[in-house]
Structure 1
Amino acid sequence: MTTVPLPLPTRRADLLAQLAQPRVYDLVVIGGGATGLGVALDAAARGFSVALIESHDFAKGTSSRATKLVHGGVRYLAQGNIALVREALHERTTLLHNAPHLAQPLAFVMPSYHCWESPFYGVGLKMYDALAGKAGLGATEFLGRERTLQCLPTARAEGLKGGVKYWDGQFDDARLALALARTAASRGALLVNYCAAKELVHEDGRVAGVVCEDTETGQRHTLRARCVVNATGVWVDALRQQDGEATGRSVKPIVAPSQGVHIVVDREFLPSSHALMVPKTADGRVLFAVPWLGKLILGTTDSPRHNIEYEPLPFHEEVAFILRESARYLSRAPTAQDIRSLWVGLRPLVKPQDDDGNHTKSLSREHTVLASKSGLVTVTGGKWTTYRAMAEDVLQKCFSSGLLDVRPGGVTVRLPLVGAPTGPVQHRMCDAQGWHSYGSEADAARQLPGADALLGAGITEAMVRFAARHEYARTVEDVLARRWRLLFLDAREAAALAPAVAALLQQETGADPQLDAFMALAAQYLHVPA
């Protein structure tokens, strides 16, 4: 086999040594989800010195719990938000181009059980195509009854009139987040997971840095910066409150979190490469049945949530709603006993207020970027599809607030992410995980010991070693939930593989792989609320 240069190492001792060096960064980002990682990459690509810290693992929270769709937002079109849809469609194309090994086009079918549904939704989807223009992934088609059943072989046939087929995108959210982190690192950024922001540093009433703590050792470091970005998602108000208290200002919360539940079952309930989409369920919400990595994701609902947790539990009513609505559209509907994994994502819905409590508007989409009088820049809201545009808006706020010198943007529009192959890509995301998700790094990963030593579920010893050496993995959860998505696909199988993964991680890192914590988490992902 030809020797392939290995990617950048992510040895934690080296990362912490860099963190301890006294220097002033142009930008320190707090939060390692899609938004924070996007900001770090954009800033590093423009040549700024950047450090990013994350209290847990990259994409531990909301950013690994999406419905796995890269989309323009058909719902927003119905609301008349043309600007948001147009921008999201543009960003959809950019994402598919920059990470073709992690994102792909996906066909959706809306089954019609009333004569008015196909023409009604079809006209809207034709407008969706028009807004996409050359960035479209495929033309919307009106389907007859038989063609609809060919695309959705287990759709309820009784009363079926036809359907509408349209195209959007699908991706692996956690692995895309990891690709953003590693691409930013390749551009000179320092990124450290399991490193929590403990307090902001203020000098003369201005934010001048952040004190962070290595959660594994308890050691603290002070990172000085010209600009600090608060990109902690549903948790942004905690840092904003701290900033306000330090400078004697009243700060009103801007986030009202909601949660979406996702149920994962076997593909036999919809054995198709097409996704099913119901635009309006019994109570007006949207229902998806999406093939992903060999399983089927059912969801999602949005329910207000008042307490914020890293591992939120689903409400009984949400699970019952998804199963009940699935039974209305599938000839054989899954039951609670068929659930392979059950997980919840928190979404930061924004109350658009600035730091003085005045009503304001987000820049041009569903996210908000604020700069406090002390110079803390906060970004929240939005969605995965527009992470790159959000990052550009954050940098623009840093410029307009006088925190950073202006540098030209657009540098990430055609910036391939780590692993992006240069040649044709065989999209297989609907089928299963495999070496193809490593893209151009597959040969390098195979060079590690254990490339043919299969642990199970397509995971080899070499993949675990690669995660530890080159992908920042520290715990069993890091490997089985985010480097590989097994916890999200089949929690019982993930638990079965966990001891072997823990032993390899212990060998590779010398750190506690937290096996017991993972086993408890796997049990939670199998628990259906009564």
Structure 2
Amino acid sequence: MSRTHLSPERRRADRAALADGVVDVLVVGGGVTGAGAALDAASRGLSVGLVEARDWAAGTSSRSSKLIHGGLRYLEQLAFPLVREALHERARLVQTIAPHLVRPLSFLLPLTAPAWQRAYYGAGVALYDVLSSALDAERVVPSHRHLSRRATLAAFPALRPDAVVGAIRYWDAQVDDARHTLAVVRTAAGYGARALSSARVTGLLRDGDGSSAPVVGVRVSDLTDGSAFTVRARSVVAATGVWSDDIGAMLGGSAPSLRVRASKGVHLVVPRSAIDVGDVPDGERSGLILRTPTSVLFVIPWGAQWLIGTTDTPWKLDRDHPAASSADIGYLLDQVNRVLSTPVTADQVVGVYAGLRPLLAGEADQTSRLSREHAVVTPVPGLVLVAGGKYTTYRVMAADAVDAATAGLPGVPPSRTAHLPLVGAHRWDAVEGRAAELAAASGLPEDAVDRLLHRHGDQVTEVLALVRADPALGRPLPGAPAHLAAEVVHAVTAEGALHLDDVLTRRTRVSIATPHRGTESAPAVAELMAGPLGWDADRIEREIAHYGARVAAERESQRMPDDHTADAARLGAPDVRSAV
């Protein structure tokens, strides 16, 4: 079995090892920054533990705009170092780190005013290209182009002809955020990191009394069976995003900590037909970036669908399950319909998701004006807190956090993750473009194998091996024809899925990509998971019931008029892990 497999057996072994030993670095938080810190430390040769209260990428890291980008709008804020850093990370991800999961994507920046706008925005986009050029010498991400009004409407026929006078086409990149975070976790496991999801930190171990006593480990509750254990570490890195205040509260006293504010971002998923761009192939569609009164709005191609987002509003309610209200949905539809010839209607919305951005608190009243830079602090010896930043710069955040955590350890080499391919990327050149050949050998449709390639990279052979061993696993999932039964088995045996929600929401995107939001697929998926996880009939029934309740609560929250009523409706369905 591959060292990167997050199997049930691997989880049991990792739990036993963490409870019995001492690690150099223990990372708390299984989002992209925490996963990145675990990989950074493990690839330096350190012993590493990684614990996550729910599932990998269960929070912010599965609910983003799915973009790897420099942040074009930050140029207006003169945040040139931030943009340059993010663009360099974009180049690394596209070229080396995860080319199977991160792909270039073009955007149109529509122009609505005469020449001054073309000159002003054109200068900004030109600077964007210049800042990205140092590490993108091969021009994997193309340079920008100016388009006339006619060319703009040809590239995006759904635009209202009277809404644009032209456009600038520029390039960024797109990522499947949950699968990318999972690949980071698996790569860290391949370097020896002990990784446990469903493992909630409940307290800090201190060497002595008082608020300045060093941290020497953590107390953990195993949410798979309700047991508790401790993990000792020479240094603890907390990469907990909008939950950073919880770690600060565990310190007690007046120890300094990070101040993080949560900003809610809501996205809509609509079918391709809702924004009709004619016969442009799915892989060649451009997105849109639009100015709004408070921020920017993206219309992003997402497979055979579109993502529309995002909002940017303060959120002070439940952080585990942020809720989208009807006001959020209405706002997004109103904004996008300002430029479309045929409005998108609420009944065309297939999926909705809401995530929370962890922003470093400042003086600004609006979250859209808070810093997207990150901070690393050491409030007491043995504990490092890292927060802020953006998905694109996770690797830099992780390296900075590990540098701080290992400052007192002799002989620790520098970070090496800038040139480290993730699981699925090592032999990407050998499998990219081989969908037809692999399909012929496996008996699967070519389009199905092509989708597998862009989810699993060179690990596609593992999924296809499951189909060869059991041809029944080559069948599409009920209600989700874009996914195969084999992907469910692989999610459990190699990708650490422990619950039905883990598979339908993060290993696949059935929960946001289908009108039924996964309820039609849930029974078949639960049956497939039952074997490798040892579920009996009662457990299968409970998992299906929990998932159905979650979907119903989300639908109800999206009918509510504001944050407070939406939050109350969403909390009507408890997290499946709280039932243990």
How does the TM-score come out when normalised to structure 2? 0.84
Counting only pairs closer than 5 Å after superposition, residues 455-466 of structure 1 correspond to structure 2 as 455=477, 456-466=480-490
The whole-number CA distance in structure 2 between the counterparts of 1:77 and 1:328 is 25
> Which moves more between the two structures, 456-465 or 344-353?
344-353
Give the deviation of 1:44 after TM superposition.
0.3
Question: Partner residue of 1:407?
Answer: 412
Structure 1 residues 189 and 145: alpha-carbon distance in aligned structure 2, compared to 1, 3 A threshold = same
Where 2:142 maps in the other structure, the secondary structure is coil
The whole-number CA distance in structure 1 between the counterparts of 2:381 and 2:246 is 16
Where 2:419 maps in the other structure, the secondary structure is coil
Question: Partner residue of 2:147?
Answer: 143
Alignment coverage as a number of residue pairs: 509
Q: Percent identity?
A: 37
Question: Partner residue of 1:445?
Answer: 463
Q: Unaligned regions of 5+ residues in structure 2, if any? A: 364-369, 436-446, 562-580
Structure 1 residues 484 and 478: alpha-carbon distance in aligned structure 2, compared to 1, 3 A threshold = same
Where 1:447 maps in the other structure, the secondary structure is helix
Give the deviation of 1:13 after TM superposition.
4.2
Assess if the C-alpha contact under 8 Å between 1:298 and 1:322 holds in 2: yes
Q: Does 1:521 align with 2:550?
A: yes
The whole-number CA distance in structure 2 between the counterparts of 1:17 and 1:315 is 42
Give the deviation of 1:8 after TM superposition.
4.0
In the TM superposition, structure 1's runs of 4+ consecutive aligned residues that sit over 6 Å from their partners are none
Alignment partner for residue 26 of structure 1, among 24, 27, 50? 24
Assess if the C-alpha contact under 8 Å between 2:163 and 2:339 holds in 1: no
Give the deviation of 1:265 after TM superposition.
0.5
1:71-93 Cα distance to aligned partner (Å, 9 max, x none): 01101111101000110000011
Alignment partner for residue 320 of structure 2, among 290, 302, 310? 310
Give the partner amino acid of 1:516: A
The whole-number CA distance in structure 2 between the counterparts of 1:78 and 1:414 is 31
Alignment partner for residue 196 of structure 2, among 192, 203, 217? 192
Alignment partner for residue 288 of structure 2, among 277, 287, 291? 277
Where 2:249 maps in the other structure, the secondary structure is helix
Q: Does 1:182 align with 2:169?
A: no
Where 1:318 maps in the other structure, the secondary structure is helix
Alignment partner for residue 167 of structure 2, among 160, 163, 169? 163
Give the partner amino acid of 2:534: G
Question: Partner residue of 1:477?
Answer: 501
Assess if the C-alpha contact under 8 Å between 2:257 and 2:379 holds in 1: no
Give the deviation of 1:241 after TM superposition.
1.2
Give the deviation of 1:453 after TM superposition.
1.9
Question: Partner residue of 2:384?
Answer: 377
Counting only pairs closer than 5 Å after superposition, residues 471-510 of structure 1 correspond to structure 2 as 471-510=495-534
Structure 1 residues 426 and 167: alpha-carbon distance in aligned structure 2, compared to 1, 3 A threshold = farther
Question: Partner residue of 1:213?
Answer: 221
Counting only pairs closer than 5 Å after superposition, residues 271-350 of structure 1 correspond to structure 2 as 271=277, 273-281=284-292, 283-350=293-360
Structure 1 residues 47 and 412: alpha-carbon distance in aligned structure 2, compared to 1, 3 A threshold = same
Question: Partner residue of 1:56?
Answer: 54
Structure 1 residues 302 and 395: alpha-carbon distance in aligned structure 2, compared to 1, 3 A threshold = same
The whole-number CA distance in structure 2 between the counterparts of 1:423 and 1:118 is 39
Question: Partner residue of 1:249?
Answer: 254
1:142-199 Cα distance to aligned partner (Å, 9 max, x none): 1011111121111111242111100000010000011001000000001011111111
Q: Quick check: which one's helix share is greater?
A: 2
Assess if the C-alpha contact under 8 Å between 1:142 and 1:163 holds in 2: yes
Question: Partner residue of 1:17?
Answer: 13
Give the deviation of 1:490 after TM superposition.
2.2
Counting only pairs closer than 5 Å after superposition, residues 349-364 of structure 1 correspond to structure 2 as 349-351=359-361
1:485-530 Cα distance to aligned partner (Å, 9 max, x none): 1212225152111110011111220244622121122234445334
Give the deviation of 1:117 after TM superposition.
2.6
For the aligned residues, what is the CA RMSD? 2.2
Give the partner amino acid of 1:20: A
Where 2:518 maps in the other structure, the secondary structure is helix
Give the deviation of 1:406 after TM superposition.
4.9
Structure 1 residues 463 and 7: alpha-carbon distance in aligned structure 2, compared to 1, 3 A threshold = farther
Assess if the C-alpha contact under 8 Å between 1:7 and 1:470 holds in 2: no
Question: Partner residue of 1:359?
Answer: none
The whole-number CA distance in structure 2 between the counterparts of 1:18 and 1:166 is 45
Q: Unaligned regions of 5+ residues in structure 1, if any? A: 354-361
Assess if the C-alpha contact under 8 Å between 1:277 and 1:286 holds in 2: no
Assess if the C-alpha contact under 8 Å between 2:286 and 2:300 holds in 1: yes
> Which moves more between the two structures, 329-338 or 166-175?
329-338
Assess if the C-alpha contact under 8 Å between 1:41 and 1:181 holds in 2: yes
Give the partner amino acid of 2:124: G
Give the deviation of 1:409 after TM superposition.
2.0
Assess if the C-alpha contact under 8 Å between 1:341 and 1:526 holds in 2: no
1:205-249 Cα distance to aligned partner (Å, 9 max, x none): 210101111101011121100000111110011111111x2xx33
The whole-number CA distance in structure 2 between the counterparts of 1:159 and 1:371 is 51
The whole-number CA distance in structure 1 between the counterparts of 2:157 and 2:3 is 43
Alignment partner for residue 88 of structure 1, among 83, 86, 89? 86
Give the partner amino acid of 1:292: W
Structure 1 residues 12 and 508: alpha-carbon distance in aligned structure 2, compared to 1, 3 A threshold = closer
Structure 1 residues 107 and 398: alpha-carbon distance in aligned structure 2, compared to 1, 3 A threshold = same
1:364-390 Cα distance to aligned partner (Å, 9 max, x none): 961111101243111111111001111
Structure 1 residues 33 and 487: alpha-carbon distance in aligned structure 2, compared to 1, 3 A threshold = same
Q: Does 1:434 align with 2:451?
A: yes
Give the deviation of 1:277 after TM superposition.
3.1
Assess if the C-alpha contact under 8 Å between 1:343 and 1:525 holds in 2: no
Assess if the C-alpha contact under 8 Å between 2:372 and 2:388 holds in 1: no
> Which moves more between the two structures, 487-496 or 148-157?
487-496
Alignment partner for residue 264 of structure 1, among 264, 269, 274? 269
Assess if the C-alpha contact under 8 Å between 1:109 and 1:274 holds in 2: no
Assess if the C-alpha contact under 8 Å between 1:468 and 1:474 holds in 2: yes
Give the deviation of 1:276 after TM superposition.
3.5
Give the partner amino acid of 1:69: L
